[in-house]
Amino acid sequence: MSEKNSLSVYNKKRDFKKTPEPSAQKISHEFANKKSIFVVHKHHASHLHWDLRLEIDGVLKSWAVPKEPPIEPNTKRLAIRVEDHPLSYATFEGTIPEGNYGAGTVEIWDSGEFTLEKSTPKELLVEFFGKKLSGKYVLINTSGKNWLFFKRKGN
């Protein structure tokens, strides 16, 4: 992915004087000695969606999922790749004020650890150890920013 490790898009979209979200410069030490972490934010923006974020290469690779993430196998969800977020975003909850990028309330829907079984530009195989997301999942790039996200059968 060409925007690998870049948090400049994240910063550009936000005015940190106006939003309570963390800036990308804010270095978080709280995850330093942990396994890879994931978080799913439920984001009550103009359109309700869920933001899936996976710690990969020192940032939170992020996807916007328009429908609730599946907890049963084979319910396929569209997941739209969005800009990388800083690791410190993993614990963020709050309300982004009107007029700012992503205005609305952000709450943690699920979080925990995950392992990455396979990572190619077109496919990620992950196993989640969360409360809601638990077991083996896949993300498949179908075209451009569009991915399919679903739980694999047999787990």
Sign of the CA dihedral with 107 first, then 112, 113, and 119 last: negative
Write out the H or E segment, with its range, that includes residue 12.
Answer: helix 8-12
According to DSSP, the β-strands at 123-129 and 48-56 are unpaired
* Contact window for Mn ion (CB under 5 A) among 8-16, 32-40, 48-56, 144-152: 48-56
Contact predicate 26/32, CB 8 Å: no
- Of 30-38, 42-50, 88-96, 109-117, the segment contacting Mn ion by CB under 5 A is 42-50
Task: Out of 14, 43, 53, 77, name the contact with Mn ion by CB under 5 A.
Answer: 43
How far apart are CB 44 and Mn ion at their closest, in Å?
A: 9
Minimum CB separation of residue 106 from Mn ion in Å reads 7
Footprint (CB under 5 A) of Mn ion, residues 51-80: 51
Stretch that binds Mn ion, among 47-55, 65-73, 116-124, 144-152 (CB under 5 A): 47-55
DSSP conformation letters of 105-150: EEEEEEEEEEEEEEEETTEEEEEEESSSSEEEEEEEEEETTEEEEE
**Binding residues vs Mn ion (CB under 5 A):** 43, 51
